[in-house]
Amino acid sequence: MPPKQKINVITLGCSKNLIDSEILMRQLGDKYIVEHDSNEQADVLVINTCGFIGDAKEESVDAILQAVEAKKNGDLKKVFVTGCLSERYKAELKDEIKTVDGFFGVNELPEVLAALEVDLKKELLGERLITTPSHFAYLKISEGCDRNCSFCAIPLIRGKHKSKSKEEIIREVKFLASKGVKELLLIAQDLTYYGVDIYGKKEIADLVSRISDVPGIEWIRLHYAYPAQFPVELLQLMKENPKVCNYLDIPLQHISDRILKSMKRGLGELGTVNLVEKIKKEVPDAVLRTTLIVGYPGETEEEFEQLLDFVEKYRFDRLGVFKYAHEEGTPAFELKDDVAEETKQDRLDRLMMLQQQISFDLNKQKEGQLLKVIIDRQEGGYYIGRTEFDSPEVDNEVLIADSGLPLTVGSFYTVQIQKADFFDLYGEVVTGA
Ligand code: SF4
């Protein structure tokens, strides 16, 4: 029996891509020694690419070119490429980079496995090789998107919205809980559209409620909610169900009526403001994360200042700002990308400067509070964790000085917040939670 070859799977892009890598890696264990995002030398490399916008595409192409260079130098036997860039530009990539052993799209698991000489094991579908710390995991509840936001290439890459059945999702949740997962981050391209295709109506609230019944799951976090036709029953669930974090990631993208119309978001300024006010009224301590785009075609200084005023007035707890990227194949590609790069950067900086102060002020209000914190890791003399108001990798963290009292990674503690910083909190454990 020849020794097992080593395979390294590299994931670029978003958490949805990460899940695709985890599903692939779960199928490989019999034939390969499986590594994820490793710098170690391997026999085979699979690059799960991102093809969303310019910078991400560049990063993916660089990774492919490095890999084929390593293969040329004999440091790698085989290189395979999957994911969104490969889905979007398969023909061009095949033409231009002939030394790659295979390019695959986003829905080609059987084909990838065949190329790796591995049989698809149906009994393992719904299982993943979890790459996040074992106490939290992402849960993708659907694939693709039926929306037509003018700046977005995702529907071109990931296709139409396709919900997983509730049974399939609950099976996956039970698998994750059996591996020690306590916190689930629900993700999709359009989370709140869940169920429309297979149940004829939005079923996200019922799905979340069923997930909360799975023993072991303690926190459920909602990402990528869509603002138009927002299912308000989710707010009721947030209020009533202690396992549903008072946290909502809801990209709003802009506030100007003209720009929201051009973006085909299906909701204008008034609708957006009414929704934000409704959420804040229904769930007063809900933390809102949103995403905004600056420099969209034709964006005037007045329209940008309208956005600044909106952020100043509604004070989002968490904010991501992106510069508009002119993406071929998207509806907005027909428009002139007429906002200069420096102006885009200047607007991004001004918005993040404002947000830094807002984040600090909101963090200050948490001083003295007792908050439930999950410990993610130990680092530099601190235990580092998060409250229900913080998603991993993108939001604030709680730093607890290592006082010699050992804390367990993946466990919950009640922490008294003592000091606030711009994007982090410092605190002390008062009891186990
Ligand atoms: S909702 Fe809009 S921005 Fe989000 S994936 Fe769909 S088309 Fe893209």
Ligand 1 centroid, distance to 301 Cα (angstroms)? 25
Q: Whose CA is nearest to atom 2 of ligand 1?
A: 149
- Segment 225-239 shows an average pLDDT of 97
Instruction: Tell me: pLDDT of 432 over 80.
Output: no
Ligand 1 close to Cβ of residue 152 (< 6 A): yes
Instruction: Tell me: pLDDT of 373 over 60.
Output: yes
Ligand 1 binding pocket mutation candidate from 189, 226, 260, 327 (most atoms within 8 A of CB):
189
Cα 187 to the chain's mean position, in Å?
Answer: 6
Ligand 1 close to Cβ of residue 147 (< 6 A): yes
What pLDDT, in 10s, does the model give residues 330-344?
A: 999 999 999 999 999
Ligand 1 centroid, distance to 144 Cα (angstroms)? 9
Confidence of residue 260 (pLDDT cuts 50, 70, 90): very high
What pLDDT, in 10s, does the model give residues 275-325?
A: 999 999 999 999 999 999 999 999 999 999 999 999 999 999 999 999 999
Ligand 1 close to Cβ of residue 189 (< 6 A): yes
Q: Is the separation of the CB atoms in 418 and 367 below 8 Å?
A: yes
Ligand 1 close to Cβ of residue 290 (< 6 A): no
Ligand 1 close to Cβ of residue 149 (< 6 A): yes
Instruction: Tell me: pLDDT of 388 over 90.
Output: yes
What pLDDT, in 10s, does the model give residues 144-198?
A: 999 999 999 999 999 999 999 999 999 999 999 999 999 999 999 999 999 999 9
Distance spanning both ends of the chain, measured CA to CA: 50
List the beta bridge partners of residue 319: 290
Ligand 1 centroid, distance to 226 Cα (angstroms)? 8
What residue ranges define each of the domains in the chain, with the CATH number in brackets?
5-124 (3.40.50.12160), 136-364 (3.80.30.20), 370-432 (2.40.50.140)
% of the chain at pLDDT higher than 90: 95
Integer Rg of the chain from CA: 22
Residue whose structure tokens are 């860039």 = 85
List the beta bridge partners of residue 56: none
Interior angle at CA 173, CA 172 and CA 177, nearest 5: 120
Residue whose structure tokens are 């170690």 = 40
Q: Which H/E stretch holds residue 8?
A: strand 5-11
Residue 68 three-state SS: helix
User: For 334, which DSSP code?
Assistant: G
Distance CA 340, CA 128 (A): 44
Please state the atom number of ligand 1 nearest to the C-alpha of residue 265. 2
Please state the atom number of ligand 1 nearest to the C-alpha of residue 253. 3
List the beta bridge partners of residue 6: 33
Q: What is the mean pLDDT of the chain?
A: 96
Ligand 1 binding pocket mutation candidate from 15, 160, 190, 254 (most atoms within 8 A of CB):
190
Phi-psi region of 149 (alpha: psi -120 to 50; beta: other; left: phi over 0): beta
Q: Is the separation of the CB atoms in 388 and 219 below 8 Å?
A: yes
Distance CA 426, CA 433 (A): 17
Q: Is the separation of the CB atoms in 264 and 151 below 8 Å?
A: no
Instruction: Tell me: pLDDT of 1 over 80.
Output: no
Ligand 1 close to Cβ of residue 245 (< 6 A): no
Please state the atom number of ligand 1 nearest to the C-alpha of residue 146. 6
pLDDT value of position 118: 96
pLDDT value of position 251: 98
- Segment 413-433 shows an average pLDDT of 91
What pLDDT, in 10s, does the model give residues 127-136?
A: 999 999 999 9
pLDDT value of position 433: 55
% of the chain at pLDDT higher than 70: 100
Ligand 1 close to Cβ of residue 145 (< 6 A): yes
Confidence of residue 3 (pLDDT cuts 50, 70, 90): confident
List the beta bridge partners of residue 50: none
Residues 6+ apart with CB under 8 A from 281: none
Distance CA 396, CA 249 (A): 14
Q: Whose CA is nearest to atom 5 of ligand 1?
A: 189
Ligand 1 binding pocket mutation candidate from 142, 147, 229 (most atoms within 8 A of CB):
147
Ligand 1 close to Cβ of residue 94 (< 6 A): no
**Residue 426: what residue type?**
Y
Q: Whose CA is nearest to atom 8 of ligand 1?
A: 152
Instruction: Tell me: pLDDT of 50 over 70.
Output: yes
Q: Is the separation of the CB atoms in 176 and 202 below 8 Å?
A: no
**Residue 5: what residue type?**
Q
Ligand 1 centroid, distance to 268 Cα (angstroms)? 16
What pLDDT, in 10s, does the model give residues 354-364?
A: 999 999 999 99
